[in-house]
Chain A
């Protein structure tokens, strides 16, 4: 790394069906701005050489694109990813490593950090360069979004942060930009995999992934019974949104746990969160109150969900939700 800058800023990208996810592009855009502020360079790391859009990463800010000779990016290859990333980072000595907080952030990144002798600022929502200390300042929520913390790495390098989806927006590409493509060979024999993927079960009912969705439509206890999830599912469908829920419908078996938002479920912060018949227990608010716009529909004007709502409607959700769905559908022809 360079003397007084951040050193190279790495973005570990994630792909689906061979193409880089929007959240990774957004993170590269942010890294590009940071690199401009501190005269650093951005390197993106693709965990496979089969990434179709690797050539486009430079247009969004990558000066270097490392293509690791790894196994295909879908599936379970954590042991190999950890070894490859640790080897490469050990050689290239980046100053900063950034990744999205999903699959990589819950397993690979913390393991890489320990192997490199450094820590992780997890689930950040903003990243800033402090010109005085010349350090990265990572901002992350805690206590269910009721508190924010600025984290720094006083001495250890690299500074490693995972970032929540939608924390940043994908910037404008500059197609004239060129990046260096670097293929990294890897000795697969050197990995003693202690885990093995035996089977994949695709959950076909979840069309839009809750963690990554830009819009989440959430149905709560106010729906009354399992069959009534159809009302919120239709609204989600017309909006291209993911379907969420609070704890009671999961505990009552109306809908699967994979949809649960909150303290013991998933944490989401979409652009738009529409809560239908959700009372807003603190444990639920903990999982969604960092959403950009929150719409609450509930018949009880005293429901705590209204305290975090951007727009609130007190009324009968069985009239409001279908009407909303109908008007949206009409507007889209």
Chain B
């Protein structure tokens, strides 16, 4: 089975600062890592490859330094990794990102399954997986917590729903996004780490993907960030003093006053 895993490189720590001059995110000098939820997609992709004697290709759209995350993915066991990078991609929203990923997947050609993480820890939209599926014209299932059966033309997956779980059959090719419960990611082997070190990461730009720069990046994104700001923090919280009984009584009083209960 040919599996494609889409990952994102994100700040390793979720402490962020706003550039006082431009009012946008100050991203320079921050350690970066594979988006943690994507590690579950990567692990599942590698497991499918091992079971079906297939191949795993990892894709990311990002800055030149995102090749570090792709090498890391090779270390886990991915066969190939491709970086989609071009100054024209900068400022892409979820729509433009999924558009670029779809172009790259079409360029790769034959694929059976695309795996994504549930959402990124920076943007937190969870939109790229379903948008990518629609852009490719293939089916999509969100919040998959178990792959029950891998067939030639379809797969059966368990997904988390409002009521509990649903067992869904999806025709292939298709896209799923997965949650943490699906697996426990492995630790890269020594051989993997050696492979990662040596891995050559091809870089595809807008031209190679046949993308009109006007349709992506800041100019081509349907949505735009007009402003970023820190949320107003409520005044410093109140520590309730006294013995246990007194603390509990005070808490109940406060919660009743604010109509929280």
Contacts and interface: CB of A to CB of B under 8 A. Distances in A.
Contacts of A260: 180
Given A154-B224, A198-B167, A200-B163, 15 more contacts: A118-B95, A120-B94, A150-B229, A198-B168, A204-B164, A209-B162, A215-B260, A258-B160, A292-B260, A311-B237, A311-B254, A312-B239, A313-B240, A313-B248, A323-B244
Interface stretch (A43-51, A90-98, A314-322): A314-322
Contacts of A146: 14-16, 230-231
A212 B156 CA distance: 28
Contact of A153 (B179, B222, B261): B222
A257 B118 CA distance: 14
A24 interface: no
Interface stretch (B70-78, B82-90, B120-128, B191-199): B120-128
Interface in A145-159: 145-156
Contacts of A119: 93-95, 221-223
A78 B36 contact: no
Contacts of A257: 145, 179-181
Interface in A32-76: 74-76
A95 B123 CA distance: 25
Interface in A285-323: 286, 290, 292-296, 306-316, 319-320, 323
A50 to B, nearest CB: 18
A300 to B, nearest CB: 13
Given A123-B125, A239-B261, A149 B240 contact: no
Contacts, number: 246
B238 interface: yes
A201 B254 CA distance: 40
A264 B244 contact: no
Interface of A: 16, 74-76, 78-79, 82, 102-103, 105-107, 110-111, 113-115, 117-123, 137, 141-156, 194-204, 206, 209, 211-212, 215, 239, 257-258, 260, 263-265, 267, 271-272, 282-283, 286, 290, 292-296, 306-316, 319-320, 323-324, 327-328, 331
Contacts of B121: 143-144, 263, 286
Contacts of B125: 120, 122-123
A299 B181 CA distance: 30
Given A122-B126, A144-B124, A107 B142 contact: yes
B141 interface: yes
B258 interface: yes
B169 interface: yes
B22 to A, nearest CB: 14
Contact of B234 (A197, A203, A310, A314): A310
Contact of A323 (B131, B145, B231, B245): B245
A123 B125 CA distance: 7
A327 B244 CA distance: 12
Contacts of A292: 260
Interface residues of B, number: 78
A198 B164 contact: no
B227 interface: yes
Contact of A107 (B98, B130, B138, B229): B130
B150 interface: no
Interface string B151-192: 000001010111111111111001000011100000000000
Nearest to A309: B237
A293 B133 CA distance: 38
B163 A264 contact: no
6 contacts: A105-B126, A106-B143, A195-B140, A196-B168, A263-B36, A272-B260
A40 B223 CA distance: 22
